[in-house]
Structure 1
Amino acid sequence: MKRLMTAVVLAIAATACYLMLEPVPDDTGPVLDADEATQVSRGEYLARAGNCLGCHTAPGGAPGAGGRAIETPFGTIYTSNLTPHDNTGLGQWSSDDFWNALHEGRARDGRLLYPAFPYTHYTRITRADVDAIRIWLKTLPPVDQPNREHALRFPYDTQAALLAWRALYFKPGVYRADDRRPADWNRGAYLVQGLGHCSACHAPRNALGASNDPEALAGGLMPEQNWYAPSLASTHEGGVGDWPKEDIVALLRDGASRQATVSGPMAEVVFGSTQYLSASDLDAMAVYLKALPATQSVKLESKGIQDELRRERGARLYAEHCADCHGEHGEGKPGVWPALAGNRAVTMDPPANPVRMVLGGGYAPATRGNPRPYGMPPFAAALDDEDIALLVSHIRGSWGNSATPVSSLDVQRLRGNLHQAARAPRNPPSVGSDAD
């Protein structure tokens, strides 16, 4: 019996030694120490704040592998591969290389980068935050996907033209805190002006695509997409200076608040970026946005459609297609369908946003605070340009609204850009009104 027990013990010991010596497959990825794990987590958060993967992920493509087409008035830009692939991605890039790209707008080989990549905003990001983003990007699975050459018209495809543009409109510089302001305002400014690059949409641009006063956030028509990003300083447009701070936070976090529901490109920003921000950062952004100097933008008044037959036709179209959700008198249903009466999103000039919504429909973003948002169907196939013009004009001129009518030519122009909106950047999947 002793011999049997001894044999069993020896067998167990031998098996244990074998298992200790036999390499165990490790499919959990690299082991990170506490400091590295903290940096990776921080870098992922900052990349979310900057919505990096929103542009650098092609539809159906690997996260961060680039290849998405960005339509501009000067041609098409294709986003680059951010994965750590040695040949086609950032695998050979040093921390200095990555810093130069975000801070100086220069590639690893010294080429000047096009400002469709918003280094004009990212230049404000601190070195520590840039390094953290790079550390997180290094954890992405490397993807062998060569960068696609841009398709820009002459002379915009030349480094000489880009050098001249930068001399006129770009000055690198990390954000410097304003000592006269509290810490939360400065944090909000850092996020809005830098990582969030809000003025990339919410600022007017000149013929060369530059904004002379981006921090004013005075609103502007988004090139090629033809959505209007409203002024964040005007109470007639998207200003939130008179909002309770918690409503601003809710809008950025959930895509919907008591005051408004986001739609169009802003819905994509909430979906892929701001819903993931911390409560303190959302609060800081709200503090900064509330403190923007108010502007007195001109509100164009109008008596609406003057021709009685056309006015009646617009009312019939509204009753047939819109009243079931938005109410007979544009009153909407709180928390479900937005009111159209007194809704500044439908009375802004230019009238691009209400026309785009009627043409293409839309949904608020799916967020943890609003996981099943109600949406609006598209009417581009059901209504012709004249019908949509009359319908939108009816909404803009009824129930106390007094905005200028919309023409069929306006609708035709915006309808022609629907295919470009389909190619516009969209954010990768994530967890899950007055449309400003």
Structure 2
Amino acid sequence: MKRVLLAIAIAVIAVLAWGWHANYSTEMPPSSAPGSAERGAYLARAGNCMTCHTDRGGAAWAGGRAIDTPFGTVFSSNLTPDPKNGIGSWSSDDFWRALHHGRTPDGRLLYPAFPYPNYTEVTRADSDALFAFLRTVPAVAKENTPHNLRWPYNTQAALAAWRALYFRPGVYEEDTKRSAQWNRGAYLVRGLGHCAACHTARNALGASSDMMDLSGGLIPMQNWYAPSLASAREAGVADWPTEDAARLLRHGAARGATVLGPMAEVVQYSTQYLSEQDAEAMAVFLKSLPPVEAAPASGTRQVDSAVALRGARIYGEHCTQCHGEKGEGVAAAYPPLAGNRAVTMPVTANLVQVVLGGGYPPATAGNPRPFGMPPYVMKLNDVDVAAVLTHIRTSWGNQAPPVTELDVAQQRGGAER
């Protein structure tokens, strides 16, 4: 019965959606002068495009990388200039339509795993430059892998309904009251950088009500939490010097902070290649975000004495050598745990992930030999992980709720899927 009602609802919305799309103008803005392939290569790095469009162990830009979603698996497409399987037969107008409208040359709607809700703000000039660059990469005759999505999410009707509810093509409009540097940063964060794709919470249909609130969200299927970029209690940089925030983007480490998990991949393959000017522009914009004060993660449950003793013992056996007896860390090597906002955030997903799977900062020009943390997934059971994290979150002045065995079990189960 639920499937029938869902089908009826989708059909009704889809009829309205197709009507809206039929009346929506997809007129192309005039193409700029032929785009610079060299500039396009820089922009492709800024957008971290190759990471998704290259399968692990596969040819660059030939697609096929699986992107898991709550609705099934989407596979990235071949962006090489192969005329049959890639974009060799596309025009610059076709490429712009994909970025700006989320449509293929034949009019089919693209799935928003390709972040066109962000890329819609990319200028026509930058689109042309990206296209010019992609025309220069080696052509690979690799067929695109069909998506594997559950019904009804595998239908164009459902996608049209989703777009009618959550997507409007747009362009970046400069804020004339702000500096050129701020506008450049806003353009990169909102468009090619597509920061909101991770740092904004999503609803049950995978959409964000506000693409630019950047107030944090759990990354679907990855079990990592992208912290709020607007909260000083999470990952906000409003009170940071601009150069420190820019350094974190380019080097992966700054001011006692280190990027791990999915953000380490972003720095590794994308933001470390930003120019100093662009990194500073993004930092200026991020520093200006309206503050969103997340509730402090104050301790609400008393820690059981047996858990406290167990956690302290495990910390002494496995953690003290790097992080210090009092969680002070080692400068330029191991981050402090005392007073570390990554430790005391209400969402504990990242802490559990790091203990189970290890923590590996990116190797960058500014930090070529980063110190990493080994995984403990085979050494510590769920009770041990919960105990040691509870010890860390409640020691040396840290005041955060304990981590439960269930918290760990959920993360471990997600990592094994």
TM over 0.5: yes
Partner of 2:306: 309
The answer for the alignment partner of 1:88 in structure 2 is 85
Aligned to 2:199: 202
Alignment of 1:7-22 (within 5 A): none
The one-letter code of the counterpart of 1:98 is F
Tell me, yes or no, if the aligned pair for 1:304 and 1:402 is still in contact at 8 Å.
no
Q: CA deviation at 1:36?
A: 9.9
Amino acid at match of 2:179: P
Alignment of 1:3-402 (within 5 A): 39-302=36-299, 305-402=302-399
Which stretch shifts more, 153-162 or 190-199? 153-162
- AA aligned opposite 1:189: A
Once residues 160 and 136 of structure 2 are traced to their aligned partners in structure 1, the CA distance between those partners, rounded to angstroms, is: 34
Q: For residue 363 of structure 1, give the secondary structure of its aligned residue in structure 2.
A: coil
User: What displacement does 1:347 show?
Assistant: 1.1
Q: Secondary structure at the match of 1:215?
A: coil
> Do 1:59 and 1:68's aligned partners in 2 also have CA atoms closer than 8 Å?
yes
SS at match of 1:241: coil
Shift of 1:246: 0.6
Partner secondary structure for residue 331 of structure 1: coil
Counterparts of 1:157 and 1:378 in 2: how far apart (Å)? 37
Following the alignment from structure 1 to structure 2, what is the Cα–Cα distance between the partners of residues 295 and 410? 25
Distance 2:300 2:407 in 1: 19
SS state at 1:282 partner: helix
Q: Deviations over 1:104-134 (max 9, x none)?
A: 0001221100000000000000001001001
User: Is this contact kept in 2: 1:305–1:394, CA < 8 A?
Assistant: no
Aligned counterparts of 1:312 and 1:337: Cα–Cα separation in 2 = 24
Looking at structure 1, the residues matched to 304 and 356 of structure 2 have their Cα atoms a distance apart, in angstroms, of: 24
Give the 3-state SS of the residue equivalent to 2:410 in structure 1. Answer: helix
Structure 2 residue identity aligned to 1:94: S
- 1:190 CA displacement: 0.2
Is the Cα contact below 8 Å between 1:341 and 1:398 reproduced in 2? yes
CA deviation string 1:343-398 (max 9, x = no partner): 11111121001110000002110000000100000000111111111111111111
Amino acid at match of 1:83: T
Checking the alignment, whether the CA contact within 8 Å between 1:304 and 1:394 is kept in structure 2 is no
- Deviation of the 1:37 alpha carbon: 10
Give the Cα separation in 1 of the matches to 2:212 and 2:409: 33
3-state secondary structure, aligned to 2:258: coil
One-letter code of the match for 1:389? A
Equivalent residues of 1:304, 1:396 under 8 A apart: no
The amino acid across from 2:258 in the alignment is T
Q: Deviations over 1:213-242 (max 9, x none)?
A: 121100001111010000000000000000
SS of match in other structure, 1:416: helix
User: What whole-Å deviation, never above 9, does each CA across 1:41-86 have from its counterpart, x for those lacking one?
Assistant: 1000000011100100000001100000001111100000000001
- Deviating runs (4+, > 4 A) in structure 1? 35-38
**Residues 36 and 163 of structure 1: CA distance in aligned 2, closer, same or farther (over 3 Å):** closer
The AA in structure 1 aligned to 2:307 is R
Structure 2 unaligned segments of length 5 or more: list them: 1-31
Shift of residue 259 of structure 1? 3.7
2:35/2:132 contact within 8 Å kept: no
SS of the residue aligned with 2:254?
Answer: coil
RMSD over aligned Cα atoms: 1.4
Alpha-carbon separation, structure 2, partners of 1:310 and 1:349? 19
**2:65 & 2:358 partners in 1: Cα distance?**
23
In the alignment, is the contact (CA less than 8 A) between 2:339 and 2:398 conserved in 1?
yes
Alpha-carbon distance between aligned partners in 1 of 2:375 and 2:384, rounded to the nearest angstrom: 14
Residue of structure 1 in register with 2:24 after alignment:
none
Contact 1:121 / 1:195 at 8 angstroms: preserved in 2? yes
Q: Distance in 2 between matches of 1:209 and 1:133?
A: 27
Query: Over alpha carbons, which structure has the higher Rg?
Result: 1
CA positional deviation for 1:198: 0.2
% identical aligned pairs: 62
TM-score with structure 2 length normalisation?
0.91
Give SS of 1:376's match: coil
- CA apart distance, 1:407: 1.1
2:99–2:119 Cα contact (<8 Å) kept: yes
Q: Give the gaps of 5 or more residues in structure 1.
A: 1-34, 421-436
Aligned counterpart, 1:426: none
TM-score by length of 1: 0.87
> 2 CA distance for matches of 1:419 and 1:287?
39
Cα shift at 1:304? 6.0
In structure 1, distance between residues paired with 2:116 and 2:35: 25
In the alignment, the residues of structure 2 paired with residue 259 and residue 329 of structure 1 have an alpha-carbon distance, to the nearest angstrom, of 16
Residue 38 of structure 1, CA deviation? 7.8
